[in-house]
Amino acid sequence: MDEQELRALFSAAPPEAPEPTFSQDDVVRESRRQTVRRRNRITAGVSAAALVVVGFGAYGLLSGGTPGLLTAAKDNAVSAQSEAGSAQPGDGSMRPQVGGESPNFPAQPPQQGGDGDGKTGHLAEGASGCEQVDRELAIALAGELPVPVAVSEASPGGACSTASRSAGFRVPGGEVAAAAYPKGIPVVFKSQPAGTATARVTTASGGSLLLISVPASGATAPYAGQLDQFAHALAPRF
């Protein structure tokens, strides 16, 4: 090997190592930093585990205590109900019947016949005369009146006759009554007080429907201007 080859080998050799960029103090600080990080992770894990344990314990306490609370509440409710039941009066007339109506309240409103004041009659379908109220006519007339009336309070009314179906109601200011006469039967009814208004139309069956409005003492005939309207509304039904 000549001198030129030796020079080439030496020039190809690596240069001297560079100066280190960190010192021993840097290594110590990084080691401490990693140690602190590991400690923090361990502390966080332990805290999370403790929270989970506490949560399960609380859930077990609540779920285990709820049935007892419900049972106690139920027992209190039953006890209160028993006390309330025992506080009721023992007189049977003061308590409703088990399977029916209370004796103090009849199942149907009483309906008076001709043995009373003669103003309220029994309800019957297709009834004629002045002793009974025609139920169908009473229901129809009640539906036309501007004021609420009870069908059970209907009376034959002043328009009734032995051949007609009739119904009437007491209204503010007097009475409104209707009478339906069969085809071929003349319209005949008793005389009415002064100021009485009347309306008469032909029914769908060829008969006659009469409406009268009888005023109370010192009043004008109630709904006198609406009698024709009521009569035309009722006529197609009879």
Note the pLDDT tens digit of each residue in 24-61. 777 777 788 788 777 777 876 766 666 666 666 555 55
pLDDT of the residue at 96: 37
- The position carrying tokens 């109601």 is 169
Of 45, 63, 81, which marks where a domain is finished?
A: 63
Residue 133 lies in a domain: yes
Distance CA 199, CA 228 (A): 6
Torsion from C-alpha of 97, 103, 108, 109, nearest 10 degrees = -150
φ, ψ dihedrals at 213, nearest 5°:
-125, 110
Q: Evaluate whether residue 99 is within a structural domain.
A: no
Statement to judge: residues 232 and 127 lie in one domain: yes
Instruction: Indicate if the pLDDT at residue 14 is higher than 90.
Output: no
What pLDDT score was predicted for residue 63? 55
The token pair at 212 is: 């009268």
- Distances, alpha carbon 54 to alpha carbons 49, 50, 162, in Å: 9, 6, 93
Give the residue from 17, 36, 63 where a domain finishes: 63
> How would residue 111 be classed by pLDDT, with cut points 50, 70 and 90?
very low
Co-location of 37 and 144 in the same domain: no
Distance CA 167, CA 154 (A): 6
Which of 158, 147, 144 shows the shortest CA–CA distance to 196? 158
Question: Please, how many CA atoms are within 13 Å of residue 165, restricted to the half-sphere of its CB?
Answer: 23
**Is residue 59 located within the same domain as residue 129?**
no
Determine, yes or no, domain membership for 221.
yes
CA distance 214 to 200: 15
Per-residue pLDDT, 55 = 65
Q: What are phi and psi of 14, to 5 degrees?
A: -65, 150
Question: Domain containing 184: what range?
Answer: 122-237
State the pLDDT at residue 238. 93
The answer to whether residue 89 sits within a structural domain is: no
Alpha-carbon distances, residue 39 vs 35, 51, 216 (angstroms)? 6, 19, 104
pTM of this prediction?
Answer: 0.49
| Torsion of the alpha carbons at 190, 194, 200 and 205, rounded to the nearest 10 | -20
Q: Are 224 and 197 in contact (CB under 8 A)?
A: yes
pLDDT digits (tens, 9 = 90+) for 184-198: 999 988 888 999 999
**Is 72 among the domain residues?**
no
Question: 233 and 137 in one domain?
Answer: yes
User: What pLDDT sits at residue 39?
Assistant: 76
Residue 4 lies in a domain: no
Average pLDDT over residues 6-35: 72
**Eight-class DSSP state of 155:** B
How large is the greatest C-alpha to C-alpha distance in the chain, in angstroms?
166
Residues 131 and 208 in one domain: yes
Q: What is the pLDDT of residue 15?
A: 61
Q: Looking at the structure, do residues 139 and 226 belong to the same domain, yes or no? A: yes
Answer yes or no: is 139 within a domain.
Answer: yes
Sign of the dihedral through C-alpha 182, 187, 188, 191: positive
Residue 232 shares a structural domain with residue 126? yes
* Residues 143, 233 within the same domain: yes
Same domain (yes/no): 37, 128:
no
Based on the structure, what is the number of domains in the chain?
2
Q: Where are the beta strands (DSSP E) in the chain?
A: 122-124, 132-134, 165-171, 174-181, 197-202, 208-215
Q: Is position 220 within any domain?
A: yes
